Chains A and B, each alone.
Chain A
Amino acid sequence: MRLLAGLLMALAALPLAAQQTLPPAPYAYRQLEDPAQEAQAQELMETLRCLTCQSQSIADSDAPMAGDMRHQVRIRIAAGEEPEEIRSWLMERYGDYVSYEPVMSASTWPLFAIPLLLVLIAAAIFWRRFRKRA
């Protein structure tokens, strides 16, 4: 009985907490029929940033907007769009921020240049140290 009362209280509290009552988008929590397409979609979703959460990809977020983005990704993949087209469609709207996979650009080149530099430095260290047998 107490359990029931608790449940009723919880249900009554819901509208106050401003819950979103609309069910999630059809493909937010549903996979595509074709496993190859679903794999493509999954791979893309893991690299797109959820815009309303704190550093999570849309592939692992319960935020409604992330669900809507998953829906977009899945129906576009199902319609035959390439994953990279979808990524650039989103980047045209949200900039580099929406993609966890930095694309070489004026604002991201050091992310690629510095690791390259590290490789060179490592090679230089080995060369200096091991060139002549001590």
Chain B
Amino acid sequence: MIAEIGLAALWLAAALAALQLVGGLVAQRAGADAEIARLTRPAAILQGGLVAVSFASLLWVFAITDLSVKLVAANSHTAKPMIFKLSGAWGNHEGSMLLWVTVMALAGALIAAVERRLPEKTMQATLAAQSFVALGFYGFLLLASNPFERLAQPAAEGLGLNPLLQDIGLAFHPPTLYIGYVGLSVAFSFALGALLTKQVTPDFARAMRPWILGAWVFLTLGITAGSYWAYYELGWGGYWFWDPVENASLMPWLAATALLHSASVLASRDALRVWTIMLGVVAFSMSMLGTFLVRSGVLTSVHAFAVDPERGSFILFLLAIYIGGALLLFALRAGSISEGERFSVASREGALVVNNVMLSAILAVVLLGTLYPLLTEAFDVRVSVGPPYFNPVSAIFVFPMLAIMAVGPLLRWRRDSWGRISKEVALLVALLLAALVLFGLLAEVAILPLLGLAFAITLGVASFLPLRGRSLRRAPLSLWGMVLAHFGLAVALLGMASESAFSTEKLAALGEGDVTSVGPWEVTLEAVEPVAGPNWTALSGRMQVSYSGGEPVEINPQSRNFWAPAQQTAESVLLTRWNGQLYAVIGTQAPDGRWQVRLWWKPLVTLIWYGGMLIALGGILALIGRVRSDLRRRSAKRKGAARRLEMETVK
């Protein structure tokens, strides 16, 4: 019964999305007050409610493990812990699509309910675009992959008890990225709405901004968590491989970062109109492209879990319609939208333009490097593009961007002079040079990590300079958000540069009782003992490790053998100190009885992920700040309108 309710709600929601599309399009011809056009907003709100019902039904059938539902039987099991039963609802193709439309429809309902800044016609066009994107997913869900399909004969037990997949990270990582992607789809809809009505105004940017910020926060968290997962799971101490799947999550982030900054120029200064629209389209394209690359398996990746060429062609089809359509509209319409206000190079906008160009160039490099093997394979040539390409080539654009990131926020809008901030600039340049000389002389560091260290320190200081001369308590929340996000990037950069410059590695063959050292650590392998878990057996190393002769600590890296499915994994141990991490892995036994042990000391490596979290926190603060000031402005407007009305009636 519950499953049927879910399916019915999904059909109704799809019908409402169609109504919403028609309403929004009719509005473009017949005006915002046409009968059917006025249904657009209510349709969006109702659609959100219905999809929520549908998704709740799916959660419910998973929660009670209703084995007459095919999806539950295939992906769940009565003996699973509740949290994994629930996460199983979106841990499969159909469920993840339903999650996608759910988040999307709820977002649509929210903008339909509260967003009143834009001209009604633009709003209707935006909602039409939103329903256009959603309809593709509804169509596929309802016609080709119904999540509520029943089995003729209920299954005796579910098939989804693979303990390897019962991982809290795996359960929540995909939805985090999805929410980011969907947030970008809202920005995309706003961009299309503005393009349809040619109303590219500061209000448009303000309406779009919270969605970009929200999406950006989720993408940041998703990338940070994914990188940490690779770091501890793969067992070789690497945290970023420039792998296609990693790049697929990085590209929307880069585009969203650029969009965030260009939208802020549009909101404050009514400039960069066409460019902001373009980025709105590009950011969502990158999410779809990323999904395509991950799901279709056209590129080889370490992280490819659910590869299916058929789904690949479906996503490619949607990609063609959405992005092809949007770019066509862009080519036809954008010519008649003026770029907006001009400005000088020494201004906040000027710096933001530099930032945008650099971010776009980095995005282009990542895109090129990721897709290039796909291109050559069409000519039967196989090439590999990896870290030795991405690191230096993207650095060409990263370091200029970091430089402008340090000074840009000190500049005023519209017109400023370098003379006004000369003292700050001199301080930062001195700091940069001092750091370069210091690290260059003290340690033998390669050029990129050296630049990274120096820029990280400079940017770390620079990011707080916009607060100078301000009352810290009165500084707006959005300013704090920017400061924190920029500082977070500096922190992450320091972690990366330090990891790359100062890590030490030790591969050793140790017998029981042998001692070795890595960096400041002394490591003793006391014994290797067998242990057993629910579905694995392991050889567990008992090691005593001590930091510069301090009190020893026991760690137990394991080499695990799972039996269903048969798989050998290394359970590494990460021992965190304030100034870095000790990373220990135990491998196989050599014929002479000694054990392969891999050890790394990675100074400041944890800063990479703390930095990522700070960036996300900055985004959250900015989001709260923006929404709060929007609400304040709105209530002020309403009060003003009420007073005016009062005055008029008094007259």
Contacts and interface: CB of A to CB of B under 8 A. Distances in A.
Contact, chains A and B (beta carbon distance below 8 A): yes
B531 interface: yes
Contacts of B397: 118, 122
Contacts of A6: 532, 537
A36 B128 CA distance: 63
A121 B365 CA distance: 13
Contact of A55 (B302, B368, B561): B302
B304 interface: yes
A71 interface: no
A55 B243 contact: yes
B96 to A, nearest CB: 22
- Dominant secondary structure at the B interface: mixed
Contacts of A23: 588, 590-591
Nearest to B236: A60
Interface string B587-624: 11011000010100000000000000000000000000
A119 B505 CA distance: 37
Contact of B383 (A3, A55, A61, A102): A102
Contacts of B389: 100-102, 111
Interface string A23-60: 11000011100000000001000110100011111011
Given A53-B302, A107-B376, A129-B353, A119 B384 contact: no
Contacts of A9: 563
Contact of B381 (A49, A56, A107): A107
B372 A110 contact: yes
A49 B507 CA distance: 20
A96 B357 contact: no
Nearest to A98: B384
Interface residues of B, number: 62
B364 interface: yes
Given A24-B588, A47-B388, A96-B384, A55 B505 contact: no
A111 B537 contact: no
Nearest to B596: A29
Interface stretch (B49-57, B340-348, B429-437): B340-348
Interface of A: 2-3, 6-7, 9-10, 13, 17, 23-24, 29-31, 42, 46-47, 49, 53-57, 59-62, 95-102, 107-108, 110-111, 114-115, 118-119, 121-122, 125-126, 129-130, 133-134
9 interchain residue pairs of minimum CB distance: A100-B386, A134-B342, A60-B236, A101-B388, A130-B345, A97-B382, A10-B537, A96-B383, A6-B532
Interface of B: 234-238, 241, 243-244, 300-302, 304, 341-345, 350, 353-354, 357-358, 361, 364-365, 368-369, 372, 376, 379, 381-389, 393, 396-397, 505-509, 530-532, 536-537, 561, 563, 566, 570, 587-588, 590-591, 596, 598
Given A56-B302, A100-B389, A129-B353, 4 more contacts: A13-B563, A29-B598, A47-B387, A121-B361
